[in-house]
Chain A
Amino acid sequence: MKILLLLALLLAACNPRKIELQGAGASFPYPLYSKMFEEYYKEFNVGINYQAIGSGGGIRQLLAKTVDFGASDVFMSDKELKESPNILHIPICLGAVVITYNLPGNPKIKLTPDVIADIFLGKIKKWNDKRIKEINPDIALPNKDIIVIRRSDASGTTFIFTDYLSKISKDWEKNIGKGSMVNWKIGLGGKGNAGVTSLIKQTNGAIGYIELTYAMEQNLPYAVIKNKKGNFIEPCISSVSLAGDIEIPDDTRTSIVDTDNPFGYSISGFTWILVYKEQGEEKKGKELAKLLWWMTHKGQEYTKPLHYASLPTLVVKKAEVIISLISYNGRPLLKKGANF
């Protein structure tokens, strides 16, 4: 017992005033964040403990001040920010949602916004519906029921997807709306990307939505989707990055679904890290600001190998301004332009 105590004391002495940052939130960027934090630890010896408990949980924990930063795929609304101002959103990367399916031979199908909305509303019921055939004249579509598969658990993926549907379909906006969980009128729920994928794989004629990263890793087929400017865009990390390469507000709290960029993929979104503008501890706050700077700059190199879309330069510039707002006792913690 005494030896153990001594050992513990020794260990503590070896790392004087070691700083560890606590974070919690979205599960979507978790693989990227754990890679980034691992590299950051190697380089700067600052440990970061991140719990992927979901976006909502991340925001709750940040508001309860049990973590140093929260992470979310959904930005806080104006109303939520009014109740707890002083929170900054820093975009870290972009993600996208793809539409995957189970058809004989799994051909690459094309879809248009109105067809997607009507499939998920249950108005288009068969695969050989003439509206699907019109866009895919070369594909032999079977006379099969379309079985819609969706997420059963509330998630940022569902938010981005329903956000997109609300933007392109009045009917959807009025009757179902957007949210990380909505009142689905049809379909089956699978738990997580894995649950949705296994249901789709097992069900002939199924269609569903999953994260791009997951679809790429699992080699699933996904649809090419017509964007706002009329181009059919294949979802990939560059077309997702392009979706964010548009004029956005300075606080970056914006939805980029149905993007104006002619080469951007329509169902894309930012994922953010949320921090308090005014930090409670100087040393910790400074480390946090440094970490965020690193994540939006050097850390971006880890996005591509993990199938995440990196931030467009325009957005990095906005992120820089936001990070420089992080302060202690009213004084900014990072000198502007200070590259470390």
Chain B
Amino acid sequence: MVDHYSKKELIFKKILFLSGFFIIALLFTIFLTLIVSSFPSIKAFGLGFLSGKVWDPVFSQYGCFPFLLGTLITAGLALFLSFFFSLSISILIGEYLKKGTLPFLLKGLIDLLAGIPSVIYGFWGLFFLVPIVQKIEVFLGITPYGVSILTASLVLSIMIIPYSASIGREVIGLVPSEIKEAGYSLGATRYEVIRKVILPYAKGGLSAGFLLSLGRALGETMAVTMVIGNSALLPKNIFSPGNTMASVIANEITEATGKLYLSSLIEIGLVLFFLTTIVNIMGNYIVGRVKC
């Protein structure tokens, strides 16, 4: 009998290890494929690929700096724009509206936002946001392109709200009532409790949520490519058209003929891979430090 059970345990444990190992192996092989496939481009341009400002498939000149910059600006700006919304929603659902239909409805709607396909966001941006941005540009006296880094960031900021908000509301809901009550018993107002008790306690989880949404913003392709203007020139300001790494890959990989062209596109994928890894490592570090 005992033997039989321990055998089951062993098999169970083996399955767990195997799945864990499978994920590691998968990630490693993806990484390996990216490196091998981008080798011709790495050999041809070296580190200049990162700082190169010209992307010219006709004359085989490839540098991804404008796209790297575009990715960082759009994702960063989107995170900034969504920050206050996500935080407010998290506090509202996690602290103010704990029971009843309203928070239920709100939660459902936010989760729904995460489920909308990105091409729908893209179309919404193209048909709703672009004319608004054009009006702003006419008002400011600049050429009314409508599609720009700003438009892309606005679309992205809405797309990433559900990721940070749903994690945020969970961690805020998890703050033990004892410490909140301790705050109130010392005479603190609700605002003060949120500001000085809840937020510091939930900081780690909140940051994790924002990092997750940042990762989403870095890799978003379809919605961005529809509203960013897809220009390989360095953006002058947030009203300029730009491009992101994911969007360039999606736009050009289908027709990329020639070894160097294809491998340069794959190298952009490799750079994006590194970028998300760095963001994740940084995130884990921040979350870990805040928790301690």
- A, B: real partners: yes
Q: Which residues of A contact B (CB under 8 A)?
A: 53-57, 59-60, 74, 80, 145, 147, 152-156, 176-185, 187-191, 195, 198-199, 202-204
Given the contacts A188-B145, A202-B131, A56 and B231 also touching, CB distance less than 8 Å: no
Is B42's CB within 8 Å of the partner chain A?
no
The one of B232, B251, B252, B256 that contacts A184, using a Cβ cutoff of 8 Å: B232
* Contact in complex: B232, A179 (CB < 8 Å): no
Q: Which of B2-10, B30-38, B52-60, B188-196 contacts A (4 or more CB under 8 A)?
A: B52-60
B254 touches A183 (CB 8 A): no
A-B contact pairs, 23 of them (CB 8 A): A54-B254, A56-B254, A59-B257, A60-B257, A145-B143, A152-B243, A152-B247, A153-B255, A180-B257, A183-B58, A188-B145, A188-B230, A188-B241, A191-B225, A191-B226, A195-B226, A199-B147, A202-B126, A202-B130, A202-B131, A202-B146, A203-B144, A203-B145
B134/A203 in contact, CB under 8 A? yes
- How many chain B residues touch A (Cβ–Cβ < 8 Å)? 34
Provide the main secondary structure of the chain A interface: loop
Please give, as numbers and ranges, the residues of chain B lying within 8 Å of A179 by CB-CB distance: 57-58
List the A residue with the shortest CB-CB distance to B225.
Answer: A191
> What's the nearest-Cβ distance from chain B to residue A290, in Å?
29
Contacting B252 at CB < 8 Å: which of A53, A147, A154, A190?
Answer: A154
A223 to B11, CA, bound (A): 72
Q: How far is the CA of A199 from the CA of B134 in the complex (A)?
A: 11
Interchain nearest-CB distance for B145 vs A (Å): 6
B127 beta carbon closer than 8 Å to chain A: yes
Q: What is the CB-to-nearest-CB distance from B62 to chain A, in angstroms, rounded to a whole number?
A: 10
Closest B residue to A199 by CB, please name it. Answer: B147
Kindly identify which residue among B126, B226, B255 contacts A155, using a CB–CB cutoff of 8 Å.
B255
Bound form: Cα–Cα A89–B58 in Å: 23
**Contact status B56-A57, CB under 8 Å:** no
A180 and B54 contact, CB distance less than 8 A: no
Q: Give Cα A56–Cα B56 distance, bound, in whole angstroms.
A: 17
Interface string of B162-194 (1 = CB under 8 A from A): 000000000000000000000000000000000
A152-B225 contact given A177-B59, A183-B57, A183-B58, CB 8 Å threshold? yes
**CB < 8 Å neighbour of A203 from B146, B226, B250:** B146
Query: Which residues of B139-156 are within 8 A (CB) of A?
Result: 143-147
A198 to B125, CA, bound (A): 12
A60 to B130: give the CA distance in the assembly, Å. Answer: 37
Residues of the A chain whose Cβ atoms lie less than 8 Å from the Cβ of B40: none
Could you tell me the distance between the alpha carbons of A168 and B243 in the complex, rounded to whole angstroms?
A: 30
- Taking A56-B255, A189-B243 as known contacts, 7 extra A-B pairs with beta carbons closer than 8 A to each other, sorted by chain A number, are A56-B257, A154-B251, A154-B252, A182-B56, A183-B61, A189-B241, A203-B145
A81 CB to closest chain B CB (Å) equals: 13
Interface string of B111-130 (1 = CB under 8 A from A): 00000000000000011001
Collect the chain B residues with CB atoms within 8 Å of residue A60's CB.
257
**How far apart are A293's CB and chain B's nearest CB, in angstroms?**
28
Are A180 and B255 closer than 8 Å at their CB atoms?
yes
Complex formed: what's the CA distance from A74 to B254 in Å?
A: 13
Q: How long is the Cα–Cα vector from A153 to B252 in the complex, in angstroms? A: 5
Q: B residues within 8 A CB of A183? A: 54-59, 61, 232
The A-contacting residues of B in range 217-251, CB under 8 angstroms, are: 225-226, 229-233, 241, 243, 247, 250-251
Q: Which of B90-124 contact A (CB under 8 A)?
A: none
Q: Which residue of A lies closest to B61 (CB)?
A: A183
Taking a contact as CB atoms under 8 Å apart, the answer to whether A57 and B58 are in contact is no
The chain A residue sitting closest to B123, CB to CB, is A198
Q: Which of A56, A59, A204 has the most CB of B within 10 A?
A: A56
Q: Of the candidates B55, B56, B231, B257, which one forms a contact with A189 in the assembled complex, judged by CB atoms under 8 Å apart?
A: B231
Are B131 and A147 in contact (CB-based, < 8 A)?
no
Contact (Cβ within 8 A) A178 B231 = no
